[in-house]
């Protein structure tokens, strides 16, 4: 079903408005209690997007004023002042991701908020809206809202200290990333990935403050690869490993991954996890070389053309 057909007669659309700073407490309550919740905020807090056109809410109506009684579903969903919220951001365009979504009742509520946000995104040169479904409920709703499954993320794990023999790469230096490197990392992302998978320099700067280790690999003095890792409850998580396409298959990926895992070991961390696209065969080959094994856990990636 086309997305436009879903929301064209949607009675909730006129009620949707931009989220404001004053909505912060109500949004927090909604995210805790709503039946359907999605959070994919990466390195930011949802409150950071309040006041932007990409963050909208669906207020609860004044039932007592309009009908002289409270709705039955208030017993199921305690009154928060909001029935839904949705935030989507592009970092960078032309792809945007749904970062926060919560509704207490129906698909039509989600459709109304998506309609409002999609209109704003089109005005900012965004051409596609993506949704990483870490819970199962979006899988039943998103196809009817115009989304199609564009890919899926698969989790890999490694829980030992074994490492393969890695051949040294001449003139390659691995060092900690610096703030001055962020623009170069954005350039590598743009060269290596299609729009939906790219991160911006601003995102990497935010990530640097929460990183377990964050390294760049310089070949003849030019940054050609990087890795970003965070700590988990049980070990380390390799968040990002990106190699400039000009120097792929030259051993740089193995070198920087080996360096990262040795850093984990020095910190007393043995278990390592990572996520990669199911169609990223070259990355899977590298990870399997280092003893990572697929866990069988998949998360669908949905896409709505705008």
- Model pLDDT for residues 14-63, shown as the tens digit of each residue: 999 999 999 999 999 999 999 999 999 889 989 999 999 999 999 998 64
Q: Total structural domains in the chain? A: 2
Among the listed residues 212, 279, 278, the one whose alpha carbon sits nearest the alpha carbon of residue 240 = 212
- Residue 106 has, within 13 A of its CA and on its CB side, a CA count of 10
Query: What SS3 string covers 196-223?
Result: HHCCCHHHHHHHHCCCCEEEEEEECCEE
98 found inside a domain:
yes
The domain boundary, picked from 146, 167, 187, lies at 146
At residue 10 the predicted structure's pLDDT band, cuts being 50, 70 and 90, is confident
127 found inside a domain:
yes
- Contact at 8 Å (CB) between 264 and 231? no
128 and 175 inside one domain: no
pTM for the model? 0.90
Q: Which two tokens stand for residue 208?
A: 């640097």
Residues 6+ positions from 148 with CB-CB distance below 8 Å: 302, 303
Domain extent for 127: 3-146
Q: Is the peptide bond before 100 cis (omega within 30 degrees of 0)?
A: no
Q: Which two tokens stand for residue 265?
A: 């070991």
Please say if the pLDDT value at position 5 is more than 60. no
pLDDT of residue 6: 52
Q: What pLDDT digit, counting tens, does each position of 184-242 carry?
A: 999 999 999 999 999 999 999 999 999 999 999 999 999 999 999 999 999 999 999 99
* Residue 192 to residue 150: CA distance in whole angstroms: 18
Q: What pLDDT digit, counting tens, does each position of 161-196 carry?
A: 999 999 999 999 999 999 999 999 999 999 999 999
Query: What SS3 string covers 73-92?
Result: HHHCCCCCCEEEEEEEECCC
Give the percent of the chain with pLDDT over 70: 91
221 and 170 inside one domain: yes
The domain boundary, picked from 146, 178, 196, lies at 146
At residue 75 the predicted structure's pLDDT band, cuts being 50, 70 and 90, is very low
CATH, residue 125 = 3.40.630.30
């Amino acid at each position: 079903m086309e997305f436009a057909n879903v929301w064209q007669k949607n009675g909730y659309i006129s009620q949707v408005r931009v989220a404001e700073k004053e909505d912060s407490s109500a949004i927090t309550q909604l995210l805790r209690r709503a039946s359907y919740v999605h959070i994919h905020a990466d390195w930011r807090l949802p409150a950071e997007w309040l006041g932007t056109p990409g963050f909208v809410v669906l207020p609860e109506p004044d039932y007592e004023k309009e009908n002289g009684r409270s709705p039955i579903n208030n017993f199921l969903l305690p009154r928060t002042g909001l029935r839904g919220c949705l935030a989507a951001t592009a970092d960078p365009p032309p792809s945007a991701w749904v970062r926060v979504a919560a509704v207490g009742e129906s698909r039509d509520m989600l459709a109304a908020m998506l309609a409002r946000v999609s209109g704003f995104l089109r005005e900012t040169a965004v051409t596609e809206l993506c949704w990483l479904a870490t819970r199962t409920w979006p899988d039943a709703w998103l196809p009817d809202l115009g989304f199609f499954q564009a890919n899926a993320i698969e989790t890999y794990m490694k829980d030992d200290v074994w490492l393969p023999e890695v051949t040294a790469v001449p003139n390659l230096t691995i060092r900690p990333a610096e703030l001055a490197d962020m623009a170069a990392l954005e350039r590598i992302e743009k060269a290596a990935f299609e729009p939906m998978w790219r991160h911006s320099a601003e995102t990497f700067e935010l990530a640097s403050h929460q990183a377990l280790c964050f390294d760049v690999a310089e070949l003849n003095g030019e940054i050609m690869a990087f890795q970003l890792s965070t700590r988990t409850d049980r070990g380390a998580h390799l968040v990002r490993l990106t190699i400039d396409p000009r120097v792929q298959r030259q051993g740089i990926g193995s070198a920087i991954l080996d360096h990262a895992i040795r850093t984990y070991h020095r910190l007393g961390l043995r278990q390592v996890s990572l996520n990669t696209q199911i169609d990223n065969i070259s990355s899977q080959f590298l990870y399997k070389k280092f003893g990572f094994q697929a866990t069988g856990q998949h998360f669908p990636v949905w896409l709505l053309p705008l």
